[in-house]
Structure 1
């Protein structure tokens, strides 16, 4: 059976959504962040030495990094769903968005989070994080113009990955500044698998 090591309020919620959409049998091993430090509990290191989530176990394999997990699950259990045909321009776009989520898109958002949590006046980092966030999210917003989904007008792994970025913007209260992303986020939320993942996230949130 597939086991997902899931940390609350983390990237692993999108893996729950993907597992739901794939219709595969799986089990969640939940972990909760420390309410003061917001760090993962040390028990998560039993799944992987870095103590980070998501971690996926499947048939003796241990897979980390949400992009790699997304690719693995879709290629192993998707039966052609959720990814374009290899060798096409759509496939190239798909791979770019998979990597964009955890590279260009996430970095300025993480910087903003760290600056906010630190609370100290900074000479450079705060303004840089704001500038990069605007630049990157405006690009994301523009690429969604006249689109329902990122690739081929259907749900793909790119959307599972980028859903986390849209959620962060919503958590920051700035989603309305990017109308195409807001519309996109609302579309993703219509999927039953997304709603199930959200319910499970709340269930395992440790509150």
Structure 2
């Protein structure tokens, strides 16, 4: 049986939601972060090939990386609408957002996170210099790319209710972590009504509620 090794406040929430949406049989093993370092415990890092979340085991198989795990699980559910078939109207839209989640959105968020961490943990006066330099990085690289992504999201969600089209797909599931992280930081407070409606639709879904109940945390997002 497939086992989801679920690290609290991590990207493994995606897999938990996926399994609940599929109604799949699985075992859930949860791990708490170290209260001092906020890192995964040693037994989790020893299990994962990369020491990161998410990770699943299935017999002798140990698999990491969110989208690889999602594809692996969906291979066992070929009739699921969570992965539109080739040639269907929403196939390209689904593929774009499924890969944009990791390739674009989380990459940009990662850069922004590193900049913030360096600023907050570097002593003055070096921190003042870094703040000036990083301000330019945000202005020239981070903010324009994030604005472009959010603008495309708002446009697409104005045409159809989900990132993958007319119904929930794995694109929505893989986007849930970076989207909630962005919302937690106030990214959608000024405008983006269609994105706001997407959050409402997601949070109203029984599978999402079931995943949140099993996750049993005040947020699905890990805050540094």
For the superposition of Structure 1 and Structure 2, which TM-score range results when normalised by the shorter chain? Answer: 0.7 to 0.9
1:152-163 paired onto structure 2 within 5 Å:
152-163=165-176
Structure 1 gaps of 5+ residues are none
Post-superposition CA distance 1:19-71 (Å, at most 9, x none): 01111111122222234433222222221232101111124322211111111
Change (3 A) 1:152 1:49: closer
Any conservation in 1 of the 2:48–2:63 contact (CA below 8 Å)?
A: no
- What CA RMSD, in Å, does the superposition of the two structures yield over aligned residues? 2.1
Partner of 1:47: 47
Instruction: Kindly report structure 1 stretches of 4+ aligned residues shifted beyond 4 Å.
Output: none
Is 2:216 aligned against 1:202? yes
* Superposition deviation, residue 203 in structure 1: 4.9
Stretches of structure 2 that go unaligned for 5 or more consecutive residues are: 121-126, 220-224
Alignment CA distance shift 1:138-1:76 (3 Å): same
Number of equivalent positions = 205
Q: Distance in 2 between matches of 1:3 and 1:66?
A: 14
Identify if the C-alpha distance between structure 1 residues 139 and 35 changes in structure 2 by more than 3 Å, giving closer, same or farther: farther
Q: Kindly report which structure 2 residues correspond to 1:19-98, keeping only aligned pairs within 5 A, or say none.
A: 19-98=19-98
Distance (whole Å) between structure 2 residues aligned to residue 7 and residue 197 of structure 1: 13
Q: 1:98-118 CA distances to partner (integer Å, 9 max, x unpaired)?
A: 111101111121222222233
Q: Residues 51 and 115 (structure 1 numbering): CA distance in 2 closer, same or farther, change over 3 Å?
A: same
Match of 2:181 among 168, 171, 194: 168
TM-fit CA distance, 1:204: 9.9
Structure 1 position 184 matched with structure 2 position 198: yes
Are residues 104 and 4 of structure 1, via their aligned partners in 2, closer, same or farther at CA, if it must alter by over 3 Å?
Answer: same
Change (3 A) 1:114 1:33: farther
Greater CA radius of gyration, 1 or 2?
A: 2
Deviation at residue 78 of structure 1 after TM alignment: 4.9
Deviation at 1:89, TM superposition (A): 4.8
Relative to structure 2, which stretch is displaced further, 188-197 or 131-140? 131-140
Q: CA separation of 1:174/1:60 partners in 2, compared to 1, >3 Å: closer, same or farther?
A: same
